[in-house]
Amino acid sequence: MTLDSTAMNRNARPTFLEFFAGGGMARLGLGEGWTCAFANDFDPVKAATYRANFPDAAAHFHEGDVFGVSAEALPTAELAWASSPCQDFSLAGTRAGLAGGKSSAFFGFWTLMKALSAQDRAPPVIVIENVVGLLTSHGGADFTALCRALADEGYRFGALEIDAGAFLPQSRPRVFVIATRLPTDALEGPSAFQTRAVREAAARLPEDLRAGWIWWGAPPPPPRNTDLASVLEPDAEVAWSPPARTQALLALMAPAHRRAVEDRIEAGGRSVGAVFRRMRDGAQRAEARFDGLAGCLRTPRGGSSRQTLLVIEDGVVRSRLLTPREGARLMGLPDDYRLPRAQTAGLQVIGDGVAAPVVRWLAETLLEPLLDRKTASLAAE
């Protein structure tokens, strides 16, 4: 390799494939230092949102089921990112493992990875993001099946549980399975993101899979310097609930949560909290938190899952629904990020996304150093 070509490779931006891309939040998290070579999503609202935010989408975005994508249509890339739908991520049990066909959207993604591997074009790094329940579903069998699939294609792997609350004023724990065929020695070590759930999931793996486990040493980020109140719209620019609706919400609170509200009324000043309505012991309850964090954003399916804000000021309690723009800020998106006009659609895109600052942190601390090793290895050849 000549000096000129070595320098060119070192300066080239790494490329990635983003499956189940939604509104492109993983792409935003990876940042301008990466090039998106391919992205897909089957949801028309999310596809439209992606196109609205990325002018180059016409060149690489595929709207449709992942099962309709062929490996031949995929470019070669350094990273494949998959945030498959959490509600159908089941790799074991009655679905017969990875041989279960179209049981889950994940199978379509993994079929493509296997095909790329057969063509000697597999990405050297894969990230699979999902809910933390992936670690324990079916008694850990789903996670074992995922690790087995990765190992069968020559990947070593490890997992981190990262709560977006470390970066943003939203509690949003997610698991990130990071798999690679590249050297990892300098990137292994202890990490606060190796939670108890991660350690127990690793311990449940069969011995041969534990041999391929990587204890990713991702460091913690700097302390978060924002809270829920800091991302809210001005009071005069939002629609507040009628007082009777606020009182009905308070009436749904268990004594401990109602006491938390009363304490802040007595303390005076301004307090901002987040409220969810949940079913507890067969009865609907409203649960409030005043720790500066929103609860985990969700899609508005089901009616009762949309998050409510509670603002207490000078002894007056008011409530309102969280706006899509506020939700976008809670995911780390800039204010020029284009949301769907309809509130329900906007909340759907946001609630199904991945927090962009978490992706950026993984890129800075693990993914980019991994690929730097690949570049250095090619330069030495």
Tell me the per-residue pLDDT of 231-251, one tens digit each, with 9 for 90 and over: 999 999 999 999 999 999 999
Report CA-CA distances (Å) from 343 to 21, 41, 285, 296, 300: 20, 20, 25, 18, 10
pTM above threshold 0.85: yes
User: Domains in the chain, please, with CATH?
Assistant: 3-222+350-380 (3.40.50.150), 234-322 (no CATH)
Residue type, position 231, single letter: V
- Candidates 187, 194, 172; CA nearest to 296 is 172
CA-CA-CA-CA torsion for 372, 195, 224, 338, nearest 10 degrees?
70
Q: How confident is the model at residue 24 (pLDDT cuts 50, 70, 90)?
A: very high
Q: For 117-170, how does the pLDDT look when each residue is reduced to its tens digit (9 = 90+)?
A: 999 999 999 999 998 988 998 889 889 989 999 999 999 999 999 999 999 999
User: Checking phi first, is residue 64 left (phi over 0); if not, alpha (psi -120 to 50) or beta?
Assistant: left
Return the pLDDT at 193: 98
**Helices 141-152, 196-204: crossing angle, 10 deg rounding:** 70
**How many other C-beta atoms are found inside a 10 Å radius of the C-beta of residue 335?**
7
| Predicted local confidence at residue 93, as pLDDT | 41
Rounded alpha-carbon distances, angstroms, from residue 280 to 60, 262, 277, 283, 286: 46, 22, 9, 5, 10
Four-residue CA torsion sign, 145, 176, 27, 30:
negative
Instruction: Taking each helix axis as running N to C, give the angle between helix 368-380 and helix 3-11, from 0 to 180 degrees, rounded to the nearest 10.
Output: 170
SS3 79: strand
Kindly give, in sequence order, each residue whose CB lies less than 8 Å from that of residue 213, ignoring residues fewer than 6 positions away: 147, 156, 157, 158, 202, 205
Query: For residue 268, how many other CB atoms are within 10 A of its CB?
Result: 11
Give the confidence band of 91 by pLDDT, cuts at 50, 70, 90.
very low
Q: Characterise 234 by phi-psi region: left (phi > 0), alpha (psi -120 to 50), beta (else).
A: beta
Query: Dihedrals φ, ψ of 275, to 5°?
Result: -130, 135
